[in-house]
Structure 1
Amino acid sequence: MGIPALGITFLPAFAPEQLREVATAAEGAGLDELWLWEDCFRHGGLVTASSALAWTDDIKVGVGLLPVPLRNVGVTAMELASLHRLFPGRVIAGIGHGVQHWMGQVGVKAASPMTLLGEYDSVLRDLLAGEEVTFDGEYLHIDAVKLNWPPEGRVPLLVGGEGPRSLGFAARRGDGVLLTAGLGEDEVAAACDLIRAEAADVGRTMPPVVVPLITAIGPDAAERVAAEVVRWGKSDRDDVGVSGDAETIAATIARLAEMGVTSVAIQPTEDEPDLPGLCRFLGERVRPILSGSARSGR
Protein backbone atom coordinates (compact mmCIF):
# COMPACT_ATOMS: atom_id res chain seq x y z
CA MET A 1 0.00 0.00 0.00
CA GLY A 2 1.34 3.41 -0.98
CA ILE A 3 0.88 6.45 1.19
CA PRO A 4 -1.94 8.60 -0.22
CA ALA A 5 -1.46 12.33 -0.54
CA LEU A 6 -2.78 14.01 2.59
CA GLY A 7 -4.59 17.32 2.27
CA ILE A 8 -7.01 19.65 3.99
CA THR A 9 -10.24 21.04 2.54
CA PHE A 10 -11.07 24.71 3.00
CA LEU A 11 -14.84 24.58 2.94
CA PRO A 12 -16.96 27.33 1.35
CA ALA A 13 -18.67 27.57 4.74
CA PHE A 14 -15.52 29.30 6.02
CA ALA A 15 -15.04 33.02 5.41
CA PRO A 16 -12.59 33.77 2.58
CA GLU A 17 -10.48 35.93 4.87
CA GLN A 18 -9.55 32.80 6.84
CA LEU A 19 -7.89 31.21 3.83
CA ARG A 20 -4.44 32.75 4.15
CA GLU A 21 -3.91 31.45 7.69
CA VAL A 22 -5.15 27.98 6.77
CA ALA A 23 -3.05 27.80 3.58
CA THR A 24 0.15 28.75 5.36
CA ALA A 25 -0.67 26.42 8.27
CA ALA A 26 -1.27 23.52 5.87
CA GLU A 27 2.04 24.11 4.14
CA GLY A 28 3.85 24.61 7.43
CA ALA A 29 2.47 21.30 8.68
CA GLY A 30 3.87 19.52 5.63
CA LEU A 31 0.52 18.61 4.09
CA ASP A 32 0.60 17.70 0.41
CA GLU A 33 -2.53 19.46 -0.80
CA LEU A 34 -5.01 22.22 -0.04
CA TRP A 35 -8.42 21.65 -1.58
CA LEU A 36 -10.98 24.34 -2.41
CA TRP A 37 -14.55 24.09 -3.66
CA GLU A 38 -16.38 26.35 -6.07
CA ASP A 39 -19.79 26.23 -4.40
CA CYS A 40 -22.56 28.57 -5.43
CA PHE A 41 -22.80 31.21 -4.16
CA ARG A 42 -19.82 31.39 -1.88
CA HIS A 43 -16.20 31.20 -3.09
CA GLY A 44 -14.90 31.55 -6.62
CA GLY A 45 -12.65 28.51 -6.99
CA LEU A 46 -9.90 29.99 -9.14
CA VAL A 47 -9.79 33.28 -7.24
CA THR A 48 -9.21 31.47 -3.95
CA ALA A 49 -6.79 29.04 -5.61
CA SER A 50 -4.65 31.83 -7.03
CA SER A 51 -4.56 33.55 -3.63
CA ALA A 52 -3.57 30.36 -1.81
CA LEU A 53 -0.87 29.62 -4.38
CA ALA A 54 0.56 33.13 -4.02
CA TRP A 55 0.65 32.89 -0.21
CA THR A 56 2.54 29.58 -0.23
CA ASP A 57 5.60 28.09 -1.88
CA ASP A 58 5.26 24.34 -2.33
CA ILE A 59 1.86 22.92 -1.37
CA LYS A 60 -0.36 21.84 -4.25
CA VAL A 61 -3.72 23.59 -4.50
CA GLY A 62 -6.72 21.76 -5.91
CA VAL A 63 -10.13 22.99 -7.01
CA GLY A 64 -12.75 20.30 -6.83
CA LEU A 65 -14.56 21.11 -8.87
CA LEU A 66 -15.28 23.76 -11.53
CA PRO A 67 -18.94 23.42 -12.67
CA VAL A 68 -18.93 23.34 -16.46
CA PRO A 69 -22.39 24.89 -17.02
CA LEU A 70 -21.36 27.91 -14.93
CA ARG A 71 -18.07 28.67 -16.73
CA ASN A 72 -17.38 29.64 -20.32
CA VAL A 73 -14.81 27.13 -21.55
CA GLY A 74 -12.61 29.82 -23.06
CA VAL A 75 -12.41 31.71 -19.77
CA THR A 76 -11.66 28.51 -17.85
CA ALA A 77 -8.87 27.68 -20.30
CA MET A 78 -7.33 31.15 -19.97
CA GLU A 79 -7.46 31.13 -16.18
CA LEU A 80 -6.09 27.61 -15.80
CA ALA A 81 -3.35 28.31 -18.30
CA SER A 82 -2.30 31.41 -16.36
CA LEU A 83 -2.27 29.53 -13.06
CA HIS A 84 -0.18 26.70 -14.49
CA ARG A 85 2.34 29.15 -15.91
CA LEU A 86 2.52 31.19 -12.72
CA PHE A 87 2.68 28.18 -10.38
CA PRO A 88 3.98 25.22 -12.43
CA GLY A 89 3.34 21.81 -10.96
CA ARG A 90 1.19 23.08 -8.11
CA VAL A 91 -2.30 23.36 -9.63
CA ILE A 92 -4.83 20.52 -9.50
CA ALA A 93 -8.07 21.30 -11.31
CA GLY A 94 -11.18 19.25 -11.78
CA ILE A 95 -14.36 19.79 -13.76
CA GLY A 96 -17.83 18.35 -13.36
CA HIS A 97 -21.56 18.87 -13.68
CA GLY A 98 -22.04 21.11 -10.66
CA VAL A 99 -25.09 20.94 -8.41
CA GLN A 100 -28.05 20.94 -10.78
CA HIS A 101 -30.28 23.02 -8.50
CA TRP A 102 -27.66 25.76 -8.37
CA MET A 103 -27.16 25.60 -12.12
CA GLY A 104 -30.89 26.12 -12.50
CA GLN A 105 -30.82 29.12 -10.18
CA VAL A 106 -28.43 30.97 -12.48
CA GLY A 107 -30.10 29.83 -15.68
CA VAL A 108 -27.39 27.53 -17.04
CA LYS A 109 -28.77 24.06 -16.26
CA ALA A 110 -28.14 21.73 -19.19
CA ALA A 111 -30.80 19.37 -20.48
CA SER A 112 -28.06 16.76 -20.97
CA PRO A 113 -25.29 17.27 -18.39
CA MET A 114 -23.28 14.34 -19.78
CA THR A 115 -23.30 15.77 -23.31
CA LEU A 116 -22.13 19.14 -22.01
CA LEU A 117 -19.41 17.54 -19.88
CA GLY A 118 -18.12 15.53 -22.84
CA GLU A 119 -17.95 18.57 -25.11
CA TYR A 120 -16.38 20.75 -22.42
CA ASP A 121 -13.76 18.16 -21.48
CA SER A 122 -12.69 17.73 -25.09
CA VAL A 123 -12.51 21.45 -25.91
CA LEU A 124 -10.79 22.41 -22.66
CA ARG A 125 -8.10 19.76 -23.08
CA ASP A 126 -7.39 20.86 -26.63
CA LEU A 127 -7.17 24.54 -25.63
CA LEU A 128 -4.82 23.76 -22.74
CA ALA A 129 -2.68 21.74 -25.16
CA GLY A 130 -2.16 24.91 -27.20
CA GLU A 131 -4.27 23.83 -30.14
CA GLU A 132 -6.50 26.07 -32.24
CA VAL A 133 -10.02 24.83 -31.65
CA THR A 134 -13.09 25.04 -33.82
CA PHE A 135 -16.01 23.09 -32.44
CA ASP A 136 -19.74 23.11 -33.16
CA GLY A 137 -21.53 20.93 -30.65
CA GLU A 138 -24.87 20.78 -28.94
CA TYR A 139 -23.75 23.17 -26.22
CA LEU A 140 -20.32 24.54 -27.13
CA HIS A 141 -19.60 26.60 -30.22
CA ILE A 142 -15.97 27.59 -30.64
CA ASP A 143 -14.55 29.36 -33.70
CA ALA A 144 -10.76 29.28 -34.22
CA VAL A 145 -9.87 29.86 -30.55
CA LYS A 146 -6.24 29.45 -29.51
CA LEU A 147 -4.57 30.53 -26.27
CA ASN A 148 -1.76 33.03 -26.64
CA TRP A 149 -0.16 31.76 -23.44
CA PRO A 150 -0.92 28.04 -23.13
CA PRO A 151 0.63 26.09 -20.26
CA GLU A 152 4.09 24.69 -20.79
CA GLY A 153 3.73 20.92 -20.96
CA ARG A 154 0.70 18.74 -20.55
CA VAL A 155 -1.87 19.84 -17.99
CA PRO A 156 -3.64 17.09 -16.02
CA LEU A 157 -7.38 17.61 -15.76
CA LEU A 158 -9.43 15.70 -13.20
CA VAL A 159 -13.13 14.95 -13.58
CA GLY A 160 -15.62 14.76 -10.74
CA GLY A 161 -18.65 12.56 -10.58
CA GLU A 162 -21.16 10.78 -8.41
CA GLY A 163 -23.39 8.49 -10.45
CA PRO A 164 -22.19 5.50 -12.50
CA ARG A 165 -22.25 7.34 -15.84
CA SER A 166 -20.26 10.29 -14.50
CA LEU A 167 -17.74 8.07 -12.74
CA GLY A 168 -17.38 5.96 -15.86
CA PHE A 169 -16.70 9.04 -17.95
CA ALA A 170 -14.15 10.25 -15.39
CA ALA A 171 -12.42 6.87 -15.38
CA ARG A 172 -12.20 6.75 -19.17
CA ARG A 173 -11.25 10.37 -19.81
CA GLY A 174 -9.93 12.02 -16.67
CA ASP A 175 -6.38 12.30 -15.42
CA GLY A 176 -7.90 11.61 -12.03
CA VAL A 177 -11.32 11.23 -10.45
CA LEU A 178 -12.83 13.50 -7.81
CA LEU A 179 -15.34 11.67 -5.64
CA THR A 180 -18.11 13.60 -3.95
CA ALA A 181 -18.03 14.38 -0.25
CA GLY A 182 -20.04 12.54 2.37
CA LEU A 183 -19.46 9.01 1.07
CA GLY A 184 -19.34 5.98 3.34
CA GLU A 185 -16.42 3.58 3.10
CA ASP A 186 -18.41 0.96 1.23
CA GLU A 187 -19.57 3.65 -1.20
CA VAL A 188 -15.94 4.67 -1.79
CA ALA A 189 -14.99 1.02 -2.34
CA ALA A 190 -17.82 0.57 -4.86
CA ALA A 191 -16.82 3.74 -6.69
CA CYS A 192 -13.19 2.62 -6.88
CA ASP A 193 -14.25 -0.76 -8.23
CA LEU A 194 -16.33 0.91 -10.93
CA ILE A 195 -13.51 3.32 -11.83
CA ARG A 196 -11.02 0.45 -12.04
CA ALA A 197 -13.33 -1.58 -14.31
CA GLU A 198 -14.24 1.34 -16.58
CA ALA A 199 -10.60 2.31 -17.01
CA ALA A 200 -9.66 -1.29 -17.82
CA ASP A 201 -12.37 -1.43 -20.48
CA VAL A 202 -10.54 1.24 -22.49
CA GLY A 203 -7.07 -0.12 -21.78
CA ARG A 204 -6.17 2.35 -19.05
CA THR A 205 -4.74 1.76 -15.62
CA MET A 206 -6.84 3.03 -12.74
CA PRO A 207 -6.45 6.82 -12.54
CA PRO A 208 -5.73 8.67 -9.30
CA VAL A 209 -8.76 9.02 -7.02
CA VAL A 210 -9.35 11.93 -4.65
CA VAL A 211 -11.87 11.60 -1.82
CA PRO A 212 -12.92 14.10 0.87
CA LEU A 213 -13.06 12.61 4.39
CA ILE A 214 -15.22 14.28 7.04
CA THR A 215 -12.98 14.46 10.10
CA ALA A 216 -13.01 15.96 13.59
CA ILE A 217 -10.71 15.78 16.60
CA GLY A 218 -11.13 16.83 20.20
CA PRO A 219 -13.54 15.97 23.03
CA ASP A 220 -16.71 16.62 21.02
CA ALA A 221 -15.42 15.16 17.75
CA ALA A 222 -17.93 12.30 17.45
CA GLU A 223 -20.90 14.61 17.96
CA ARG A 224 -19.59 17.10 15.41
CA VAL A 225 -19.02 14.41 12.78
CA ALA A 226 -22.50 12.99 13.43
CA ALA A 227 -24.04 16.42 12.89
CA GLU A 228 -22.02 16.89 9.69
CA VAL A 229 -23.15 13.50 8.40
CA VAL A 230 -26.75 14.57 8.92
CA ARG A 231 -26.08 17.75 6.93
CA TRP A 232 -24.93 15.52 4.07
CA GLY A 233 -28.13 13.47 4.25
CA LYS A 234 -26.40 10.34 5.55
CA SER A 235 -27.89 10.08 9.03
CA ASP A 236 -28.66 6.37 8.52
CA ARG A 237 -25.02 5.42 7.87
CA ASP A 238 -22.29 4.70 10.39
CA ASP A 239 -19.33 4.53 7.98
CA VAL A 240 -19.23 8.19 6.90
CA GLY A 241 -16.44 10.29 8.37
CA VAL A 242 -14.03 9.68 11.21
CA SER A 243 -13.45 11.15 14.66
CA GLY A 244 -10.95 10.42 17.38
CA ASP A 245 -7.22 10.18 17.81
CA ALA A 246 -4.43 10.10 15.24
CA GLU A 247 -4.35 6.30 15.13
CA THR A 248 -8.06 6.10 14.31
CA ILE A 249 -7.81 8.70 11.57
CA ALA A 250 -4.69 7.10 10.08
CA ALA A 251 -6.38 3.69 10.06
CA THR A 252 -9.34 5.10 8.12
CA ILE A 253 -7.03 6.73 5.58
CA ALA A 254 -5.11 3.47 5.22
CA ARG A 255 -8.34 1.58 4.46
CA LEU A 256 -9.23 4.13 1.77
CA ALA A 257 -5.79 3.70 0.23
CA GLU A 258 -6.29 -0.05 0.05
CA MET A 259 -9.47 0.57 -1.96
CA GLY A 260 -7.56 2.62 -4.54
CA VAL A 261 -7.78 6.16 -3.16
CA THR A 262 -4.59 8.10 -3.89
CA SER A 263 -5.43 11.41 -2.22
CA VAL A 264 -7.43 12.05 0.96
CA ALA A 265 -8.70 15.61 1.40
CA ILE A 266 -9.56 15.89 5.08
CA GLN A 267 -12.89 17.72 5.28
CA PRO A 268 -13.39 19.61 8.55
CA THR A 269 -16.83 19.97 10.02
CA GLU A 270 -18.47 23.30 9.33
CA ASP A 271 -18.09 24.19 13.02
CA GLU A 272 -14.37 23.30 13.22
CA PRO A 273 -13.00 25.70 15.88
CA ASP A 274 -9.31 25.55 14.96
CA LEU A 275 -8.47 24.96 11.31
CA PRO A 276 -4.73 25.71 11.64
CA GLY A 277 -4.61 23.37 14.64
CA LEU A 278 -6.25 20.60 12.62
CA CYS A 279 -3.61 21.10 9.90
CA ARG A 280 -0.83 20.74 12.47
CA PHE A 281 -2.46 17.64 13.97
CA LEU A 282 -2.61 15.98 10.56
CA GLY A 283 0.97 16.82 9.69
CA GLU A 284 2.55 16.12 13.07
CA ARG A 285 0.44 13.24 14.35
CA VAL A 286 -1.33 11.44 11.49
CA ARG A 287 1.27 11.52 8.72
CA PRO A 288 4.01 9.79 10.79
CA ILE A 289 1.65 6.89 11.49
CA LEU A 290 0.84 6.52 7.79
CA SER A 291 4.52 6.63 6.91
CA GLY A 292 5.32 3.99 9.51
CA SER A 293 2.53 1.71 8.26
CA ALA A 294 3.82 1.96 4.70
CA ARG A 295 7.36 1.11 5.74
CA SER A 296 6.16 -1.93 7.69
CA GLY A 297 4.09 -3.12 4.73
CA ARG A 298 0.80 -2.95 6.56
Structure 2
Amino acid sequence: MTRTGAIFLPAWAPETLLPLARAADEAGVDELWVWEDCFQQSGVAAASACLAATTRIDVGIGLMPAPLRTVALTAMEIATLQRLFPGRFRPGIGHGVQSWMGQAGVRAASPLTLLDEQLTALRALLDGQRVSTRGRYVHLDDVALDWPPLQRVPVLAGAEGPRSLQLSGALADGTLLPAGTTVDRLRAAREQIDIGRERAGRTDHHDVTVFVPVATGPGAQQRLDACQARWGFDGPGWGAAGDAEQVAQALRGWAGAGADAVALQPTDDDPDPASFMAFAAEVGLLLS
Protein backbone atom coordinates (compact mmCIF):
# COMPACT_ATOMS: atom_id res chain seq x y z
CA MET A 1 0.00 0.00 0.00
CA THR A 2 1.30 3.45 -0.91
CA ARG A 3 1.53 5.87 1.99
CA THR A 4 0.25 9.42 1.56
CA GLY A 5 1.94 12.46 3.05
CA ALA A 6 1.47 16.21 3.10
CA ILE A 7 4.13 18.89 3.03
CA PHE A 8 4.38 21.99 5.22
CA LEU A 9 6.01 24.60 3.01
CA PRO A 10 8.73 26.84 4.49
CA ALA A 11 7.06 29.73 2.65
CA TRP A 12 4.40 29.56 5.38
CA ALA A 13 5.08 31.29 8.71
CA PRO A 14 6.50 28.99 11.41
CA GLU A 15 3.70 29.89 13.83
CA THR A 16 1.21 28.20 11.49
CA LEU A 17 3.02 24.86 11.68
CA LEU A 18 1.55 23.29 14.81
CA PRO A 19 -2.13 23.88 13.96
CA LEU A 20 -1.50 22.35 10.54
CA ALA A 21 0.41 19.41 12.03
CA ARG A 22 -2.50 18.70 14.36
CA ALA A 23 -4.94 19.02 11.46
CA ALA A 24 -2.93 16.49 9.44
CA ASP A 25 -2.70 14.15 12.42
CA GLU A 26 -6.43 14.30 13.13
CA ALA A 27 -7.36 13.90 9.46
CA GLY A 28 -5.39 10.67 9.17
CA VAL A 29 -2.50 11.69 6.90
CA ASP A 30 0.27 9.07 7.09
CA GLU A 31 3.24 11.47 7.01
CA LEU A 32 3.95 15.17 7.41
CA TRP A 33 7.10 16.53 5.75
CA VAL A 34 8.96 19.69 6.71
CA TRP A 35 11.84 21.21 4.78
CA GLU A 36 15.10 22.84 5.80
CA ASP A 37 15.35 25.40 3.02
CA CYS A 38 17.89 28.17 3.46
CA PHE A 39 17.30 30.58 4.99
CA GLN A 40 13.78 29.95 6.11
CA GLN A 41 13.16 27.36 8.81
CA SER A 42 15.02 24.72 10.78
CA GLY A 43 14.00 21.22 9.85
CA VAL A 44 14.99 19.66 13.19
CA ALA A 45 13.21 22.29 15.30
CA ALA A 46 10.09 22.03 13.14
CA ALA A 47 10.07 18.23 13.19
CA SER A 48 10.53 18.01 16.96
CA ALA A 49 7.69 20.48 17.55
CA CYS A 50 5.39 18.52 15.22
CA LEU A 51 6.21 15.23 16.89
CA ALA A 52 5.50 16.67 20.33
CA ALA A 53 2.21 18.22 19.18
CA THR A 54 0.82 15.08 17.53
CA THR A 55 0.15 11.50 18.54
CA ARG A 56 0.28 9.21 15.50
CA ILE A 57 1.58 10.87 12.34
CA ASP A 58 5.12 10.23 11.11
CA VAL A 59 7.19 13.36 10.59
CA GLY A 60 9.99 13.60 8.04
CA ILE A 61 12.62 16.18 7.14
CA GLY A 62 13.14 16.44 3.43
CA LEU A 63 15.91 17.24 3.77
CA MET A 64 18.82 18.23 6.05
CA PRO A 65 21.68 19.61 3.88
CA ALA A 66 24.85 17.68 4.65
CA PRO A 67 27.21 20.69 4.32
CA LEU A 68 25.33 22.71 6.97
CA ARG A 69 26.00 20.33 9.86
CA THR A 70 28.64 17.95 11.11
CA VAL A 71 27.74 14.28 11.07
CA ALA A 72 28.14 14.04 14.86
CA LEU A 73 25.50 16.73 15.37
CA THR A 74 23.17 15.10 12.86
CA ALA A 75 23.54 11.75 14.61
CA MET A 76 22.84 13.33 18.01
CA GLU A 77 19.69 15.03 16.76
CA ILE A 78 18.33 11.95 14.98
CA ALA A 79 19.06 9.68 17.94
CA THR A 80 17.40 12.06 20.39
CA LEU A 81 14.22 12.38 18.32
CA GLN A 82 14.03 8.62 17.75
CA ARG A 83 14.27 7.94 21.46
CA LEU A 84 11.68 10.62 22.26
CA PHE A 85 9.29 9.52 19.49
CA PRO A 86 10.15 5.91 18.56
CA GLY A 87 9.42 4.97 14.99
CA ARG A 88 7.79 8.29 14.01
CA PHE A 89 10.74 10.31 12.70
CA ARG A 90 11.94 10.01 9.09
CA PRO A 91 15.25 11.87 8.66
CA GLY A 92 16.43 12.79 5.18
CA ILE A 93 19.97 13.91 4.26
CA GLY A 94 21.08 15.42 0.98
CA HIS A 95 23.43 17.69 -0.92
CA GLY A 96 21.43 20.86 -0.32
CA VAL A 97 20.95 23.57 -2.93
CA GLN A 98 24.49 24.43 -3.96
CA SER A 99 23.91 28.19 -4.33
CA TRP A 100 22.56 28.28 -0.78
CA MET A 101 25.51 26.28 0.47
CA GLY A 102 27.76 28.87 -1.14
CA GLN A 103 25.89 31.69 0.58
CA ALA A 104 26.34 29.93 3.91
CA GLY A 105 30.06 29.43 3.29
CA VAL A 106 29.88 25.63 3.41
CA ARG A 107 29.76 24.60 -0.24
CA ALA A 108 31.74 21.41 -0.84
CA ALA A 109 33.95 20.96 -3.88
CA SER A 110 32.57 17.41 -4.16
CA PRO A 111 29.01 17.17 -2.80
CA LEU A 112 28.89 13.48 -3.69
CA THR A 113 31.99 12.68 -1.64
CA LEU A 114 30.62 14.64 1.30
CA LEU A 115 27.29 12.80 1.20
CA ASP A 116 29.06 9.44 0.88
CA GLU A 117 31.22 10.15 3.94
CA GLN A 118 28.32 11.54 5.97
CA LEU A 119 25.95 8.66 5.22
CA THR A 120 28.64 6.09 6.05
CA ALA A 121 29.59 7.69 9.35
CA LEU A 122 25.99 8.49 10.27
CA ARG A 123 24.89 4.88 9.80
CA ALA A 124 27.69 3.66 12.05
CA LEU A 125 27.00 6.22 14.78
CA LEU A 126 23.26 5.52 14.80
CA ASP A 127 24.00 1.80 15.02
CA GLY A 128 25.90 2.45 18.25
CA GLN A 129 29.39 2.02 16.85
CA ARG A 130 32.46 3.93 17.96
CA VAL A 131 33.82 5.71 14.91
CA SER A 132 37.20 7.08 13.93
CA THR A 133 37.61 8.27 10.37
CA ARG A 134 39.52 10.87 8.46
CA GLY A 135 37.99 11.41 5.05
CA ARG A 136 38.04 14.37 2.75
CA TYR A 137 35.26 16.08 4.72
CA VAL A 138 34.26 13.91 7.69
CA HIS A 139 36.77 13.74 10.54
CA LEU A 140 35.85 11.79 13.69
CA ASP A 141 38.17 10.75 16.51
CA ASP A 142 36.80 7.95 18.71
CA VAL A 143 33.20 9.23 18.60
CA ALA A 144 30.21 7.25 19.87
CA LEU A 145 26.74 8.31 20.97
CA ASP A 146 26.01 7.95 24.67
CA TRP A 147 22.32 7.54 23.82
CA PRO A 148 22.06 5.76 20.46
CA PRO A 149 18.60 4.82 19.15
CA LEU A 150 16.97 1.79 20.74
CA GLN A 151 16.01 0.45 17.30
CA ARG A 152 17.51 0.76 13.85
CA VAL A 153 16.77 4.15 12.33
CA PRO A 154 16.02 4.25 8.58
CA VAL A 155 18.04 7.08 7.03
CA LEU A 156 16.81 8.55 3.74
CA ALA A 157 18.89 10.35 1.15
CA GLY A 158 17.73 13.07 -1.18
CA ALA A 159 18.93 12.31 -4.69
CA GLU A 160 18.26 13.20 -8.30
CA GLY A 161 21.26 12.56 -10.55
CA PRO A 162 22.42 9.04 -11.47
CA ARG A 163 25.48 8.97 -9.21
CA SER A 164 23.56 10.35 -6.23
CA LEU A 165 20.77 7.83 -6.79
CA GLN A 166 23.28 4.98 -6.93
CA LEU A 167 24.88 6.26 -3.73
CA SER A 168 21.49 6.38 -2.05
CA GLY A 169 20.79 2.81 -3.11
CA ALA A 170 24.11 1.66 -1.69
CA LEU A 171 24.17 3.55 1.61
CA ALA A 172 20.68 4.82 2.50
CA ASP A 173 17.53 3.00 3.55
CA GLY A 174 15.35 5.09 1.25
CA THR A 175 15.39 7.89 -1.27
CA LEU A 176 13.57 11.22 -1.41
CA LEU A 177 12.75 12.35 -4.95
CA PRO A 178 12.01 16.05 -5.45
CA ALA A 179 9.05 17.82 -7.01
CA GLY A 180 9.26 17.61 -10.77
CA THR A 181 9.84 13.86 -10.74
CA THR A 182 7.50 12.42 -13.36
CA VAL A 183 6.42 8.80 -13.46
CA ASP A 184 9.03 8.04 -16.12
CA ARG A 185 11.75 9.75 -14.07
CA LEU A 186 10.68 7.73 -11.05
CA ARG A 187 11.15 4.50 -12.99
CA ALA A 188 14.56 5.67 -14.19
CA ALA A 189 15.50 6.66 -10.63
CA ARG A 190 14.51 3.22 -9.37
CA GLU A 191 16.85 1.67 -11.93
CA GLN A 192 19.79 3.77 -10.72
CA ILE A 193 18.96 3.03 -7.07
CA ASP A 194 18.93 -0.69 -7.86
CA ILE A 195 22.36 -0.42 -9.51
CA GLY A 196 23.73 1.00 -6.27
CA ARG A 197 21.98 -1.62 -4.18
CA GLU A 198 23.33 -4.46 -6.32
CA ARG A 199 26.89 -3.14 -6.12
CA ALA A 200 26.58 -2.89 -2.32
CA GLY A 201 25.01 -6.34 -2.03
CA ARG A 202 21.85 -4.98 -0.41
CA THR A 203 18.69 -7.07 -0.43
CA ASP A 204 16.60 -5.15 2.10
CA HIS A 205 13.66 -2.98 1.06
CA HIS A 206 14.54 0.50 -0.19
CA ASP A 207 11.76 3.00 0.50
CA VAL A 208 11.11 5.71 -2.12
CA THR A 209 9.15 8.88 -1.37
CA VAL A 210 8.18 11.30 -4.15
CA PHE A 211 7.14 14.91 -3.61
CA VAL A 212 4.31 15.76 -6.04
CA PRO A 213 2.93 19.30 -6.49
CA VAL A 214 -0.86 19.23 -6.05
CA ALA A 215 -3.57 21.90 -6.21
CA THR A 216 -7.25 21.64 -5.39
CA GLY A 217 -10.14 24.01 -4.93
CA PRO A 218 -10.77 27.31 -6.73
CA GLY A 219 -8.19 28.13 -9.40
CA ALA A 220 -6.37 24.83 -8.86
CA GLN A 221 -5.03 24.45 -12.39
CA GLN A 222 -3.97 28.09 -12.58
CA ARG A 223 -2.07 27.80 -9.31
CA LEU A 224 -0.37 24.63 -10.50
CA ASP A 225 0.58 26.30 -13.78
CA ALA A 226 2.13 29.17 -11.84
CA CYS A 227 4.09 26.61 -9.82
CA GLN A 228 5.46 25.17 -13.05
CA ALA A 229 6.52 28.61 -14.26
CA ARG A 230 8.19 29.39 -10.95
CA TRP A 231 10.17 26.17 -10.60
CA GLY A 232 10.81 25.46 -14.27
CA PHE A 233 9.31 21.97 -14.32
CA ASP A 234 9.48 20.71 -17.87
CA GLY A 235 7.00 18.56 -19.73
CA PRO A 236 3.70 17.10 -18.55
CA GLY A 237 3.03 14.72 -15.70
CA TRP A 238 4.93 16.34 -12.85
CA GLY A 239 1.88 17.37 -10.75
CA ALA A 240 -1.87 17.02 -10.35
CA ALA A 241 -4.86 19.33 -9.99
CA GLY A 242 -8.52 18.67 -9.26
CA ASP A 243 -10.71 17.02 -6.68
CA ALA A 244 -9.67 14.08 -4.50
CA GLU A 245 -10.61 11.41 -7.06
CA GLN A 246 -8.82 13.19 -9.90
CA VAL A 247 -5.67 13.67 -7.83
CA ALA A 248 -5.76 10.10 -6.52
CA GLN A 249 -6.06 8.81 -10.09
CA ALA A 250 -2.99 10.81 -11.09
CA LEU A 251 -1.00 9.63 -8.07
CA ARG A 252 -1.70 6.00 -8.94
CA GLY A 253 0.82 6.48 -11.73
CA TRP A 254 3.62 7.18 -9.24
CA ALA A 255 2.45 4.36 -6.98
CA GLY A 256 2.50 1.92 -9.87
CA ALA A 257 6.00 3.04 -10.87
CA GLY A 258 7.49 2.19 -7.49
CA ALA A 259 6.72 4.98 -5.02
CA ASP A 260 6.27 3.67 -1.49
CA ALA A 261 5.00 7.09 -0.42
CA VAL A 262 3.67 10.15 -2.24
CA ALA A 263 3.84 13.47 -0.41
CA LEU A 264 1.36 16.05 -1.66
CA GLN A 265 3.08 19.41 -2.08
CA PRO A 266 0.64 22.33 -1.99
CA THR A 267 1.24 25.58 -3.80
CA ASP A 268 2.66 28.48 -1.81
CA ASP A 269 -0.61 30.35 -2.26
CA ASP A 270 -2.94 27.51 -1.29
CA PRO A 271 -6.07 29.30 0.00
CA ASP A 272 -6.70 26.95 2.94
CA PRO A 273 -3.69 24.90 4.15
CA ALA A 274 -5.72 23.24 6.94
CA SER A 275 -8.25 21.98 4.40
CA PHE A 276 -5.35 20.79 2.25
CA MET A 277 -4.29 18.47 5.08
CA ALA A 278 -7.78 16.96 5.17
CA PHE A 279 -7.72 16.74 1.38
CA ALA A 280 -4.42 14.80 1.53
CA ALA A 281 -6.02 12.32 3.91
CA GLU A 282 -9.01 11.91 1.58
CA VAL A 283 -6.69 11.28 -1.36
CA GLY A 284 -4.84 8.71 0.74
CA LEU A 285 -8.03 6.76 1.38
CA LEU A 286 -8.80 6.69 -2.34
CA LEU A 287 -5.21 5.70 -3.17
CA SER A 288 -5.03 2.82 -0.69
TM-score, normalization by structure 1: 0.93
Task: Give the corresponding residue for 2:274.
Answer: 276
Worse-superposed segment, 98-107 or 187-196: 187-196
The yes-or-no answer on 1:34 pairing with 2:36 is: no
Q: Secondary structure at the match of 1:69?
A: helix
Worse-superposed segment, 128-137 or 29-38: 128-137
Task: Give the corresponding residue for 1:259.
Answer: 257
CA shift for structure 1 position 90 = 0.3
2:105 aligns with one of 104, 107, 125: 107
Q: Which runs of 4+ in 1 moved over 6 A?
A: none
The yes-or-no answer on 1:289 pairing with 2:279 is: no
Would you say the 8 A contact 2:166–2:194 is kept in 1? Answer: no
Would you say the 8 A contact 1:66–1:98 is kept in 2? Answer: yes
Would you say the 8 A contact 2:183–2:257 is kept in 1? Answer: no
Task: Give the corresponding residue for 1:168.
Answer: 166
The yes-or-no answer on 1:84 pairing with 2:85 is: no
AA in 2 matched with 1:159: A
Q: Secondary structure at the match of 1:178?
A: strand
Q: Deviations over 1:43-94 (max 9, x none)?
A: 1000000000000011000001111111111111111111000000000001
- The 5 A counterparts of 1:53-202 are 53-202=51-200
Q: Which runs of 5+ in 1 are unaligned?
A: 292-298
CA shift for structure 1 position 186 = 2.3
AA in 1 matched with 2:238: V
Would you say the 8 A contact 1:160–1:179 is kept in 2? Answer: yes
Would you say the 8 A contact 1:160–1:178 is kept in 2? Answer: yes
CA distance in 2, matches of 1:272, 1:108: 33
- The 5 A counterparts of 1:211-250 are 211-234=210-233, 236-250=234-248
Q: Secondary structure at the match of 2:7?
A: strand
Task: Give the corresponding residue for 1:296.
Answer: none
Q: Which runs of 5+ in 2 are unaligned?
A: none
CA distance in 2, matches of 1:119, 1:198: 16
Task: Give the corresponding residue for 2:202.
Answer: 204
User: What is the root-mean-square deviation in Å for CA atoms of aligned residues?
Assistant: 1.3
Q: Secondary structure at the match of 1:63?
A: strand
CA distance in 2, matches of 1:142, 1:201: 26
CA shift for structure 1 position 189 = 2.6
CA distance in 2, matches of 1:143, 1:290: 48
TM-score, normalization by structure 2: 0.96
CA shift for structure 1 position 251 = 1.1
AA in 2 matched with 1:169: L
